Structure 1
């Protein structure tokens, strides 16, 4: 009888895939948010911690998922979306800056209460998207990936569940704005025949840019490289086909499994305290977004629903779908969500490096 150490790579991969599919299927049946990301992540997290040597997930599979997600992000950068962003740029910059400062303040408080590394708490608190922040945390030094992921996952689930309940509550009056046609890029699924032949050009370009970005140490290269080249090609006139739902789900699974196998609950000190602080900071973050939306609605004369969905620290796709249901201004919501995503992509990594490099030098000088 073979021991766990004798299990071959293909068998480990089969066990990992089976666990991931089971997790995703259970999450779908329960109607939980982002089932093919969180389901495989949690299932493989549990399975690998029960028998670590039975599980494996090659890096190239994770990278493939990242390229697919990057491509879908790039599809959102259409001419109408860019025009909307250009007209609202000062307001977008102000509101995004205030939201990030609010997150940084929350991270300071949580870090002091928990005694955890501020850099770890900050990465967990910034609303840059679960996948993006986890990848950034993975590439950063002195960061506890497990803590970052726990805080991000708790925040994501609270946003996806809490914001719709808040928007549909009497507090918002079910939205008072006038519905608009969905901006290009919000409709993200299509049939397989619609992919060809343009997907071949996009596929090659995305892979080349992802690899090149990694070579020059571009932040989250397998995500940003494809996103940028997709946007450039699309604006140049080459239509980018939307991806079938199956491919999008597969990409989430590839990333979710990779993250699940990276997590180690034994590295999560003060488990109850960490979860409590994650929930508390999530509530405070939603409250802060609501207060900022009041300011935004007053300054730009938009409906409160439009303002809240534009600033809510969730994904553009979920927020846009809710905007459609309540009759909010879809282009405004999509534009603000897209701006914040790319602002965090480009501004946060170099800013982090600058701030923490200075802190490191100061600590060395006083040490």
Structure 2
């Protein structure tokens, strides 16, 4: 047990050093990208054993949820209504793209179609990997690599693309206070309850829904210091950096190539569609792109809060995608898997 805690402390130090180095080099979102890069490099290219408890990631999600929920004012919620049609159409486009990419991967890598579908589901990485493990006869190394690589590419590439676009927004930093700490604790309880009732990304959405309710009722919510968001980026970045294991790299060059191709097609499609959104609604590029790209509700939410995009719009789009993946895509993949077994 002592060794485990030593490895966690070492992992924290490596992530923190990476964050400070990226900040020194003025690389966008250093607390997230620096932590990911440092931990990933040590994990893949050294024999050092790294450990990180999910508890820290969950605390980061609660803090991110507070930051996102803070932006859900009554006016912001009303503004989301105009995007409902686009949310539906864009998800239909990505479903068609998902089937097309899955077919391409199945053909070119000689994977069976159910496995190719599982590899290419756009979002819901944790849920998809858990589903594949339950099947017992799927190639977990390939599925995990495709899912993790997509997340790493999106989380690593998207901040570099959206930072510095649009207007420079000056934000007012929050201050430490007793009401803030009490509300953060209540948000922690809300996150745990949301997770227990199996709400997707419950640790983040619990606080989001709680603060949304407080804002709508007109109660004053204290603003969180930006240093808290940096801490959330650090603990989440370390978690993401540890997702890719050395054994995941022992795949054929064909699988590695098409994993990059599939992720690139999703990112490229989101990039193109974001300009359409910009023209339709006069959205800034970073809000449109973060709303569309299939990177996961938690990752895109914290990036949106960090680069000062419209987090209410980003969260609404990404939340709808999570629901589509949970309600439609995962059951559909299950049907293909059952048919393949019979």
TM range (shorter): 0.7 to 0.9
1:152 pairs with 2:155: no
Note the 1:242-257 alignment, pairs <5 A: 242-257=223-238
Note the 1:1-367 alignment, pairs <5 A: 8-49=3-44, 50-52=46-48, 54-115=49-110, 117-123=115-121, 126=122, 133-137=124-128, 139-142=130-133, 144-162=143-161, 190-193=173-176, 195-197=177-179, 199-270=180-251, 272-274=253-255, 276-289=257-270, 291-292=272-273, 300=280, 302=282, 309=289, 312-313=292-293, 315=300, 336-364=313-341, 366=342
Q: In the superposition, relative to structure 1, how do residues 245 and 295 fare at CA in structure 2: closer, same or farther (>3 Å)?
A: closer
What is the distance in 2 between the residues matched to 1:301 and 1:255?
32
Structure 1, residues 172-229: CA drift from partner, whole Å, max 9, x if none? Answer: xxx9xxx8x98xxx95x62324x542x2443233222222233233322222222222
Alignment check: 8 A CA contact 2:74 2:216 kept? yes
Structure 1 runs of 4+ with >6 Å offset: 316-322
SS across alignment from 2:52: coil
Bigger Rg, which one: 1
Aligned residues: CA RMSD: 3.8
- What is the TM-score normalised by the length of structure 1? 0.72
What is the distance in 1 between the residues matched to 2:325 and 2:99?
12
Structure 1, residues 244-270: CA drift from partner, whole Å, max 9, x if none? Answer: 222112112212222333421312343
Q: In the superposition, relative to structure 1, how do residues 160 and 258 fare at CA in structure 2: closer, same or farther (>3 Å)?
A: closer
What is the distance in 1 between the residues matched to 2:163 and 2:184?
35
Q: In the superposition, relative to structure 1, how do residues 226 and 292 fare at CA in structure 2: closer, same or farther (>3 Å)?
A: same
SS across alignment from 1:147: helix
1:40 Cα deviation after fit: 1.9
SS across alignment from 1:192: coil
Ranges in structure 2 where 5+ consecutive residues have no aligned partner: 134-139
Alignment check: 8 A CA contact 1:138 1:145 kept? yes
SS across alignment from 1:55: coil
SS across alignment from 1:8: helix
